[in-house]
Amino acid sequence: MDNTPFPKEIVDKFIKESNLPNVGTASIRELRKLSTQIEEAAGKKFIRMEMGIPGLPAPEIGIKAEVQALKNGVASLYPAIEGIPELRKEAARFVKNFMDIDLSPESFFATVGSMHGAFSALMVAGRMDKTRDTVLFIDPGFPVHKQLVKMIGVKYTGFDVYNHRGDALKVKLESYLKKGNISCVLYSNPNNPSWICFTELELKIIAELADAYNVLVMEDLAYFAMDFRKDLGTPGKPPFQATVARYTDNYILFISSSKAFSYAGQRVGILVIPPNIYTMEKPDLTRYYSSAVFGHSVIFNTLYATTAGVSHSAQHGLAALLKAANDGEYHFLEIVGEYGNRARIMKKLFQENGFLLVYDKDGDDPIADGFYFTIRYPGLSGAQLVQEFLYYGISAIALSTTGSDQEGIRACVSFVLPEQFNELEKRLKLFHCNHQ
Ligand SMILES: Cc1ncc(COP(=O)(O)O)c(C=O)c1O
C-alpha cells in the first residue's frame, strides 16, 4: 500500500535497522522505541496503545502528604521494613471497605510497587517445597511475572483461560494441580491484557482447587476495582472488588497504587499476607533463609535484602490516598473511570472498521470497558497486525507475547487522548479499506 499515513520507506528502514527477528512479537519497550523512531522521522504522532502506564496526573492528596513527610524529616530515616504504621492501618481499612475482607494491619506490607510484592512472594513460594518446583499462571498475563520467575530460577507453566471459562475452568485447572508440582497459581483480576474479570463461580473454583491441592493463590489486583460495570467505589457498601479471598484463606494479594491512584512513579504497593500464610512453616525454606516461616522469609529476608523497605515519603503519600478513599473524600474510581470512557469509544471505532473483540465475555456478560481491550482483524495474525499497524501509526503488542493462544493484539487506552479519536478513526478506516 503506498497510501499509508506513515511512508513505507521510513517504516521499512526502521524495522530493518531494529534487527528484531519478528517485529510483530517484539516487547513493549522494543515497540516503543521503534514507534518513536518512526514518529520522529515522519514528523507525525503515533496512536500509542502499546504501553500500560497511567495517563492521568498523580493526585494532589498524595503529593501534599509526601512533601509534608519530607519536610518532617523522613528522608534521613530508614522506613520500617513492614511499612509505616499509617499505611498498614489504612490498607487494612481499604481492604475492608472495598473488598469486605477483614484483616488486621499486621497482614499488610509496603513493597516497591506491586511488582516487588510479586517478586518477593514468588521467590519464597517458588522455593518453599522441593517437590513443588513450578509456578502456574492462568494466562493471558503480565509478561514481567514470567520474567521474574525465570530470574528466580523457578519453573513455570500456564494456560490460556479463553476456552476454559465458567465450569470448564475446574477441569483445566485441576489437570495442572493434580500433577503435584505446583507451588502457587498467579493471575491478575481485572486481567492484563484481556480485561476479563473472573466471575464469582470461577473464583470459587480456583479457591476450592487451591485448598484441595494445597496450592497458594496469588491474586494480582493491579487494576483494583476498575471493573467499571459495577460501582465498586463506595467505602463499606457492596458491591465489592471480587476476590478469591472470599472463598479461601490460602491466598496472597498484590495491590498496586499505579493505576487506581495514578501513582506509578512513586513505586509503592501493598502486599497482603493473611496470618495463616504468614506463619506457615516450610522446612525447605531454610535452604535459603534464616527461618522456615513463610512470612518471615518474605518480609525480613526477601524485602529486606532486595530494597530494605519502601521510600518513606511514598508510603506517606499512599497512606494519605487510602485514608481519603476510606473516608469517602477521594473518589478514585470517578477519576480513573476516564479509562472506561475511552475504551468504550475506541472499541466502537475498531468494531465499525472490521475488527472483532477477542476476549469479549465474562460468563454471559460483555467484558467491562477499562484500561485494556483485545482485538483482531480477520485474516491477520496478531503479529502481522502489530507490524501492519506501524504503517498506520498505531502501536500495540501481540497477544502471543502474553501467554494467549489467540490471534490478536492488546490495546491500552491510557495514552490515547480523546482529541486523537478522529485521527484513530481515519487511520482505521483506511486500514480497513486497504485490507478488504
Ligand atoms: C497485571 C499487572 N501486575 C502488576 C503490574 C505492576 O504494578 P506496579 O506498578 O504496582 O509494580 C502491572 C503493571 O502494568 C500489571 O499490569
Extended beta strands in 222-354, E state: 251-256, 269-272
- Name the residue of 142, 226, 257 whose CB sits within 8 Å of the most ligand 1 atoms, as the mutation to test its pocket: 142
Q: Which ligand 1 atom sits closest to the C-alpha of 53?
A: 14
Q: What is the structure's pLDDT at 51? A: 84
Q: What is the structure's pLDDT at 215? A: 98
**Alpha helices in 100-167, H assignment, sequence order:** 113-125, 143-152
Instruction: Give residue 308's domain range.
Output: 60-326
Domain total for the chain?
2
179 and 318 in one domain?
Answer: yes
429 and 284 in one domain?
Answer: no
The pLDDT tens digits for 21-54 are 999 999 888 999 999 999 999 999 999 999 877 7
260 and 206 in one domain?
Answer: yes
Cα–Cα distance, 428 to 132 (Å, whole number): 48
Are 395 and 36 within 8 A, CB to CB?
no
Q: What is the structure's pLDDT at 1? A: 63
Q: Identify which of 154, 155, 158, 156 has the alpha carbon closest to the alpha carbon of residue 139.
A: 158
The pLDDT tens digits for 224-260 are 999 999 999 999 999 999 999 999 999 999 999 999 9
Distance 114 CA to ligand 1 centre (A): 6
161 and 110 in one domain?
Answer: yes
Q: Which strands, in side-by-side order, build the sheet including 251-256?
A: 108-111, 269-272, 251-256, 216-221, 182-188, 134-139, 155-160
42 and 121 in one domain?
Answer: no
Distance 245 CA to ligand 1 centre (A): 20
155 and 50 in one domain?
Answer: no
Residue 428 maps to a domain: yes
Boundary (domain end) residue, out of 326, 345, 360: 326
Cα–Cα distance, 86 to 303 (Å, whole number): 19
Residue 371 has φ and ψ, to the nearest 5°, of -65, -35
Task: Report the SS3 class of residue 39.
Answer: helix
359 and 222 in one domain?
Answer: no
Low-confidence stretches of the chain (pLDDT beneath 50) = none
Residue with cell 487494612: 92
363 and 260 in one domain?
Answer: no
> What cell does 330 get?
477521594
Residues with C-beta less than 6 Å from any ligand 1 atom = 52, 113-115, 142, 188, 192, 220, 222, 256, 258, 264, 269
289: exposed, middle or buried (Cβ count in 10 Å: 0-12, 13-18, 19+): buried
322 and 339 in one domain?
Answer: no
Distance 270 CA to ligand 1 centre (A): 12
- Name the residue of 218, 258, 261, 374 whose CB sits within 8 Å of the most ligand 1 atoms, as the mutation to test its pocket: 258
Distance 408 CA to ligand 1 centre (A): 21
In terms of C-beta distances under 8 Å and separation of at least 24 residues, what long-range contacts does 33-38 make, across chains too? 34/390, 34/395, 35/390, 35/395, 38/6, 38/10, 38/11, 38/14, 38/390, 38/393
64 and 40 in one domain?
Answer: no
Distance 56 CA to ligand 1 centre (A): 16
CATH of the domain at 261: 3.40.640.10
Boundary (domain end) residue, out of 297, 326, 355: 326
Boundary (domain end) residue, out of 304, 326, 348: 326
Q: Distances in Å between the alpha carbon of 262 and those of 139, 146, 312, 348?
A: 25, 24, 18, 26
Q: Which residues of 57-96 are buried (b: 16+ CB within 10 A; e: fewer)?
A: ebbebbbebbeebeeeebeeeebbebbbebbbbbbbbbbb
In terms of C-beta distances under 8 Å and separation of at least 24 residues, what long-range contacts does 282-285 make, across chains too? 282/128, 282/129, 284/127, 284/128, 284/129, 284/130, 285/124, 285/127, 285/128
Residue 53 has φ and ψ, to the nearest 5°, of -115, 150
Q: Which ligand 1 atom sits closest to the C-alpha of 118?
A: 4
Q: What is the structure's pLDDT at 89? A: 98
Residue 3 maps to a domain: no
